[in-house]
Structure 1
Amino acid sequence: MTFDLLAIYQDLHAHPELGFQETRTAGVIAERLAELSGVEVTTGVGGTGVVAVLTNGEGPTIWLRADMDGLPVQERTGLPYASEHTGQDESGATVATMHACGHDIHVTWLLGTLERLVATTDEWHGTVVAVFQPAEEVISGARAMIDDGLVERFPQPDVVLGQHSAPAPVGTVAVGSGPVMASSDRLTVTFTGRGAHGSAPQASLDPIVTAASAVVRLQTVVAREVAPSDAGVVTVGSFHSGTRANIIPDQAVIEISTRARNEETRARIISSIERIVRAESEAGGLPAPTIERSPGADVLVNDPEQAAKVLAAVGAAVPNAIDLESGLAMASEDVGQLATAAGVPIVYWFTGITDPELFRTGRDIPSNHSPFYAPQAETAIPVGVDAAVAAARAYLA
C-alpha cells in the first residue's frame, strides 16, 4: 500500500475547516492511518485532534506534530482544487475558508512520514506519537489537547518535533536555534460611553473618538517603549462601533494582536496597552474600559543541542538544509506548549514550498495567510517527508 500524498493534499486543500471544526479533516486522517499496520489511532483528543502511536521495540519516544485548521480567507489562487468551502467564524457568521498557512501540507507531510516509518521498521527502534492538532490559528488547540490528557494518555516523549511550510524555495529547510517564533497575545478592549443623536454630540460620551485616539496612541508602544535592539509588534486588526452615520453609539470595541521576542518585552507591551486604553478612556470622560486577554502563545525556543542534531540529520537528506541564522520570526505558534507540558525540548523548523522559479523572475511571493498562498505541492511534499523522516530517525536508534 502506498499513499497518494498529492491526492490527499489536494483533497485537504479543497476542504479547509476552521479551528475545532476539523471533523472532516480528522476523518480523512483517521481513515488513512487505519491503513497503516501497527498504528494505534485515537480520535477526538482536545475536540477534533487525532493521535497515532507507532511502537517498534525499545528506544526513544518522539512526538511529531502537524496542525490541521484553515483560515477565514477567500482563496484566490485559481487552482483547479481551490477551496470553495465555508465555515462558521467566532461570531457565527458564514465565511469562506482556505488553507492559507499550509496546514494541509503539514498533515500530508506527517501522514507520509508515518507511512515511511511503517515501511522501514527494520531500520529503527522506538516509539513515534503523531499529533494532529486542531485550532493552531487561534492558539487554542495545543492547550485543548493537553487539557484532554495528551501527556497522561500517550507515551511520554523525549523530544517534540515539527515543521512548518514557508514561502521559501522548494528544497530549502531552515532549522533555527534558540528563540525561533515570537509570543502572541490577543486583547479585546471595549470602550463604553453614552450614545446620542449625531446632531447633539454634547449629550454623548463618544466611544469612537476615544477608541480612535487609543488606536493612534498604541502605535507608539513599539516605537517608543521597546528598545531598537529588541522586537515587538502591536497590531489593531479590528475596530467595531456604531450602526448609522447620525447615531453616536455607546460602545466601541477594538481587537489587538501583539508579538514579542521575550517574556520581559511581552509583559511590557501588555502593560503599556492597558495603561493607554485606560488613560484614553479617562481623557474622554468614559469609565474604565473592559480588557479581555485571550490565552496566548509563549516564545517558541528550539533547544540548541537538539536543533544541531536535527539540522545534521536533515542536512544528510535534504542538501539545502541550512542554519536559520536570522533567528526569531515574529509569527507565533502554540506547538511549544506540547513540549512545555511534557517537560522536554522542542525542535521546530521551516520547509520551503514555493516554486524556485518565482524567486529567479523577481515576482511577488505570496506569504502565509495570503489568499494567493499556493505550495508547489508536487515537489514540496517529498522534501517535507524526507526532512521529517530524517529528523525522526535522528532519535530512533
Structure 2
Amino acid sequence: MTSAAARIALDLTADLPVPALEDFYRDLHRHPELSLREHRTAAALAERLRKAGYDTTEGVGGTGVVGVLRNGDGPTVLLRADMDALPVAERTGLPYASVTDGVMHACGHDLHVTWLTGAAEALAAGRDAWSGTLVLVGQPAEETGEGAARMVADGLHERFPRPGVLLAQHAAPGPAGLYAHSPGLIMSASTDIDIVVHGRGGHGSRPEATVDPVVTAAYIVTRLQTVVSREVAARDSAVLTVGRIEAGTRHNIIPSEARISLNLRTQSPQVRERMIAAVRRVAAGECAAAGCPAEPGITVGSDFPVTVNDADTERRTAAVHGEVFGAGTILDPGPAMGSEDFPRLAAGGIPYSYWFVTSTPADVWNTAPGGDDLMTRLAAVPSNHSPHFAPDLCTLAPGVRTLVSGALAFLSVGG
C-alpha cells in the first residue's frame, strides 16, 4: 500500500512547471559564482521563495538564504541546497554554458538550487495537504567546506525554527533515474595538507652549491604513494591525492623552496590521524635525507567531516522514494570517497538523510564503454568537477519529487 506521503507527493508534483524550471536552471548555469560570492544565485533563490510565500532572509552566514513556511502544528523539516560553483573552465559545448571565464557549475549545485526552488513552490501550493514547518536553506561555500559552519555560527538554528530532521541530495554520475541511499556512512572525511620544502637556491649550472627542493619534493610525492598501500589496513578505505606541486621561476634557477598540496580521504578518525602522521614523517625524512637547511613546513588545512546518515531517517526517506519512483530505482552503493560539509548543519545531533540522484544523459551513458560493468562505465562518463559535467534536464522533475516526498515523509500528512 502506498503511503499518504507518497500519494500526496505525486499529486503535488503532477503538474510541475518544467519549462520554467528549465529556464531557471539554464540561467543559474550561465552565471556561476564561486564560494561566498553567490550573490546573484542567492538573490534568484530568495525571490522565488518570497513569491511562493516563504518568510525569507538573505545574508545568513555570508550569502546564505533561509526560507521559512509555517503551516500549523507539526514537525519542522529542513531542506538544503548548496549554491556555489567551481574554478573550472567549462567545455560542455552547451548553448547555456557559463559566461563567466574560468568558473563553472561543474558539480551540479545549479541543479540543486533548481530542485529546491521547485520543491518549495510545490509544497507551498499544496499546503492544505500537510502541516508543520519547512525551513529551506540555500547554502554557500560547500566546495570550500565553510558554508554550513558559517550558517550555523550565524544562528541558523536559533534565528529560525530548529528542525527535527535535515534532508539533502546531490547530482551524481550514473544512468538518470536512480536514487542512491545508504543508511550510515555515505560520504568520507576530507583533509587538506600543505607542505613547504626549504632548499638552498642557486644557479642551475652549479647544483653542488645548492639543496634542490624540487628533487626533494619529487621524492616526497613518490614516497607518499605508499602511505595508503603500506600503512592503511586493506579493510579501511582511504585515498591520498597530490593535487599541486609548485616550484621555481626559470629553467636555469634552482629555487629555494617547493610547495606541495595534497588531500586525504578517510572514513574513520583513526585512519585520518595515522595518515597525517605518515605525511609528516615522510616529508621530514626526505628533507633530512636531502640535507635541507630547515625542516619542512606542514600545515593541516581545511577539512570536511564524514557524512553518516541516521539509519531510521534514511530508511524512511528511501522507502518513500521507492514508493514514488519504484523499488527498482533505489540502490545502496555503499560509502563514497567524496566529501560534504552538510553534516555541520546537524549541529547538536539533528538526524539527517543525504542521498544521490543519478543524472548522466541516456545517450552519454549508453555509448560509454564497459558493457554491463557499472564501475567501468562510471569511470568513462563525465563526473562531478569535470569540465564536461552536464546533468540531464530530465532529472529536474524527479529531483523536485524526491525533496517533496522526502519532506512529506516527516511532516504531518493526512491518511
Do they superpose with TM above 0.5?
yes
| Alignment partner, residue 181 of structure 1 | 187
Shift of 1:325: 2.8
SS in 1 for 2:81: strand
SS in 2 for 1:131: strand
| Alignment partner, residue 263 of structure 1 | 269
SS in 1 for 2:149: helix
Of 143-152 and 156-165, deviating more is 143-152
Q: Which of 77, 95, 100 does residue 62 from structure 1 map onto?
A: 77
Shift of 1:320: 5.5
| Alignment partner, residue 390 of structure 2 | 374
Shift of 1:176: 1.0
| Alignment partner, residue 335 of structure 2 | 328
Report whether the alignment pairs 1:144 with 2:160. Answer: no
Shift of 1:361: 3.1
- The answer on whether the counterparts of 2:181 and 2:333 sit within 8 Å (CA) in structure 1 is no
Report whether the alignment pairs 1:312 with 2:328. Answer: no
TM-score normalised over the length of structure 1: 0.94
CA distance in 1, matches of 2:37, 2:290: 41
Report whether the alignment pairs 1:169 with 2:184. Answer: no
| Alignment partner, residue 90 of structure 2 | 75
Shift of 1:330: 0.5
CA distance in 1, matches of 2:330, 2:43: 36
| Alignment partner, residue 194 of structure 1 | 200
- The answer on whether the counterparts of 1:263 and 1:299 sit within 8 Å (CA) in structure 2 is no
CA distance in 2, matches of 1:32, 1:115: 8
| Alignment partner, residue 133 of structure 1 | 139
SS in 2 for 1:202: helix
Q: What amino acid does structure 1 have at the position aligned with 2:144?
A: V
Shift of 1:319: 2.0
Q: Which of 288, 291, 314 does residue 295 from structure 2 map onto?
A: 288
Unmatched segments (≥5 aa) in structure 2: 1-15, 370-379
SS in 1 for 2:179: strand
| Alignment partner, residue 89 of structure 1 | none
CA distance in 1, matches of 2:262, 2:279: 9
Q: What amino acid does structure 2 have at the position aligned with 1:313?
A: V
Gap change, CA 1:387 and 1:239, over 3 Å in 2 = same
TM-score normalised over the length of structure 2: 0.90
Report whether the alignment pairs 1:247 with 2:253. Answer: yes
- The answer on whether the counterparts of 1:49 and 1:133 sit within 8 Å (CA) in structure 2 is yes
CA distance in 1, matches of 2:364, 2:95: 20
SS in 1 for 2:336: coil
Q: Percent identity?
A: 49
Shift of 1:356: 2.8
| Alignment partner, residue 302 of structure 1 | 309
Calculate the aligned-residue CA RMSD, in Å.
1.5
Give CA deviations for 1:323-366 in whole Å, capped at 9, x if unaligned: 54331100111101111x14211110001112234333335421
CA distance in 2, matches of 1:100, 1:2: 25
Report whether the alignment pairs 1:349 with 2:355. Answer: yes
Report whether the alignment pairs 1:48 with 2:63. Answer: yes
SS in 2 for 1:109: helix
Shift of 1:150: 1.6
SS in 2 for 1:125: strand
Q: Which of 372, 392, 396 does residue 407 from structure 2 map onto?
A: 392
Q: Which of 220, 241, 249 does residue 214 from structure 1 map onto?
A: 220
Unmatched segments (≥5 aa) in structure 1: 87-95
CA distance in 2, matches of 1:278, 1:128: 52
- The answer on whether the counterparts of 2:185 and 2:307 sit within 8 Å (CA) in structure 1 is yes
Residues 16-31 of structure 1 correspond to what in structure 2 (within 5 A)? 16-31=32-47
Q: What amino acid does structure 2 have at the position aligned with 1:326?
A: P
CA distance in 1, matches of 2:62, 2:386: 27
CA distance in 1, matches of 2:220, 2:385: 27
Report whether the alignment pairs 1:205 with 2:178. Answer: no
Report whether the alignment pairs 1:6 with 2:22. Answer: yes
Gap change, CA 1:320 and 1:112, over 3 Å in 2 = farther
- The answer on whether the counterparts of 2:186 and 2:336 sit within 8 Å (CA) in structure 1 is yes
Q: What amino acid does structure 1 have at the position aligned with 2:207?
A: P
Q: What amino acid does structure 1 have at the position aligned with 2:288?
A: E
Give CA deviations for 1:204-247 in whole Å, capped at 9, x if unaligned: 12211111110000000001011112110000000110001111
Greater helix percent: which structure? 2
| Alignment partner, residue 5 of structure 2 | none
